[in-house]
Structure 1
Amino acid sequence: MIMTHTYLTTEELSSRIKYDVRTIRQCLKDSVLFEGVHYIRPFGGRKILFIWERVEETMLQGLSVNDAIGMM
């Protein structure tokens, strides 16, 4: 089974989840979004790429079935 991931920069993630880039960097990163789970630093560099599928999964945790249906 091949898993594909959608990698997003902080700016692209900001656009998708409607949070300010600074909020992602200062409040969410390393408190809600964790390295190795929600984001990676490819090639050992400084650049951060968020894994959209993992971020989305975390955002949707705790929603009831009725909430999820309402989002469709």
Structure 2
Amino acid sequence: MNIEYITTEELSKRIRYDVRTIRERLKDSVLIEGIHYIRPFGGRKILYLWEPIERDMVLHSGHHTLAIPMANGGRMNG
């Protein structure tokens, strides 16, 4: 099992959110301890697990459903 652990700063660069937004708004509301991040050895440092974050971003983006793009910019669900 090859898990990619990344820091808050690295996550910030990947998802284009400010570090402060990740720490104050996403952590513990969208990003859940044990699923999206861990505290190694019970310490204060947080390491994010990239694969579950990437998976959940796609699942909750609305692009996983079958949708036909429309000329006006909307989408028709099929």
Report the TM-score, using the length of structure 2 for normalisation.
0.77
More helix, by proportion: 1
More strand, by proportion: 2
Q: How many matched pairs?
A: 65
Higher relative contact order (CA 8 A, sep 6+): 1
How large is the RMSD of aligned CA atoms in angstroms?
A: 1.5
* Aligned 1:1-72 pairs, distance under 5 A: 3-62=1-60, 63-64=63-64
In our comparison, the structure showing a higher alpha carbon Rg is: 2
Deviation beyond 3 Å, 4+ runs, structure 1: none
Identity of aligned residues (%): 63
